[in-house]
Structure 1
Amino acid sequence: MSRLIVGLGNPGPDYVDTRHNAGFMVLDRLADRLGVGFETEAARALCGEAVLPPDPDADPARLDAEADGADGSPTAVALAKPLAFMNRSGPPVAALLDRYGLGPDALLVVYDDLAIPLGTLRLRGKGSAGGHNGVQSVIEALGSTEFPRLRVGVGNSFPPGGQVDFVLSPFDDAEREAADAGLDEAADAALTFARDGLTAAMNRHNRR
């Protein structure tokens, strides 16, 4: 296995369409594109695996030198949605890295973010949790802030004290087009990361 892409969210039908589950939504879109089902339960997560052919549109000059597809070879990627609730996401992520024999640099964590506009993305190679409890749990479980992450903007139009209700609510009709566009591009960005590496993904997708 070459890459592990993890979407953060809460399990169960009550949370399926909520903003806080943007990470799960991105993973579902990516899995659909790759024809992958989350058919395996391992390390308290639902997992699927795929082998990706090289990206035909990649610019060789912009590929990460360490990217597995940089030499034209296929890339093996695992997709995972932890079954622990958001605030306990870290232990399953750490266990999945152990399961696949990967280091934090091969991990991409995808999650919702209130600090960037609805439908926009930010890819980074390291950083703080930024107040996100799921990311904080991953940081604590890995003992490091140095792992790639993809933030997906879910809006921030809530009154003082309304953050929890806001992230646990679905996108409204006026937001749906922008939200869907952002989730789709986030799936594109995760796929670029898997095939071409973090630098290539940042160059291509950190523009909106």
Structure 2
Amino acid sequence: MYLIIGLGNPGPRYELTRHNIGFLVADSLAEKQRIVLSQGKYKALYGEGKIEGCDVIVAKPMTYMNNSGQSVKLILSALNIFPTRVLVIHDDIDLPLGKIKVKTKGGDAGQLGVRSITEKVGTDQYCRIRVGVGRPDDRGDIVDYVLTPFPEADTQLLNEVIEKAVIKVEETLIEMNKRNNKTGDRGEC
């Protein structure tokens, strides 16, 4: 079983903000794979299904970004999933809009949702899909920037970025599963 986490903040106020790109990608992935996300335990919207032959849970923590680790820890503990079988999708201000990178472990680069997960789970040994949202042009306040909706002019680009990120999640999951088959039960990214 693999756990795919999209990071973001719940509620309509945050729906199309840069900080919610993880939610947007998780929603698109779930829709593409016909996985229904619904409220339940674990302080998350989540659903179970198969992607590329792998059993997965797609989840969106409802704890707000900075407390995402609470939800992730609950899921891992309840379902006995190794952190190395976790794939977290999140915004990254150090990448321009449209750039997507996979990170296999390491620091949080100031991303507080990632920091929360690392602290609650007790390791940084999980996979991340970093989705670039860029930085403010005027060196303005980062918090205001990530909590501001994408401009309408970026709608087409945003849709393309979400589609690219969904494909990257699927490719990364395939790669994780191949490594799992070679290394035993840990599913390293």
TM-score normalised by structure 1 residue count: 0.81
Indicate the residue corresponding to 2:172 in structure 1: 193
1:172 maps to 151
- Which of 52, 55, 62 matches 1:76? 55
Aligned to 1:160: 139
Please report the RMSD computed on the Cα atoms of aligned residues, expressed in angstroms: 1.7
Q: Residue 3 of structure 1 aligns with which residue?
A: 2
Distance of 2:158 and 2:56 partners within structure 1 = 25
Matched, 1:46 2:57: no
How far apart are the structure 2 equivalents of 1:76 and 1:124? 22
Match of 1:151 among 130, 135, 141: 130
Q: Which residue of 2 aligns with 1:206?
A: none
| Residues 1-208 of structure 1 aligned to structure 2 (within 5 Å) | 2-52=1-51, 54=52, 74-197=53-176
Identity of matched residues, %: 36
Measured at CA, do residues 198 and 22 of structure 1 come closer, stay the same or move farther in structure 2, by a change above 3 Å?
farther
CA contact (8 A) 2:97 2:133 kept: yes
Residues 133-165 of structure 1: CA distance to partner in whole angstroms, max 9, x if unpaired? 111111101111111111000121343342111
- CA drift of 1:132 comes to 0.7
Contact 1:124 1:149 in 2 (8 A): yes
Which structure is richer in relative contact order (CA contacts within 8 A, separation 6 or more)?
1
CA contact (8 A) 2:8 2:61 kept: yes
Contact 1:4 1:77 in 2 (8 A): yes
5+ residue gaps, structure 2: 180-189
Query: d(CA) in 1 for partners of 2:89 and 2:14?
Result: 16
Aligned residues: 179
Structure 1 alignment gaps of length 5 or more:
55-73, 201-208
Q: Which whole-Å deviations, capped at 9, do the CAs of 1:50-93 have from their partners, x for residues lacking one?
A: 123x4xxxxxxxxxxxxxxxxxxx31110000010111111111
Q: 1:128 to 1:83 in 2, by over 3 A?
A: same
The Cα shift of 1:195 comes to 3.4
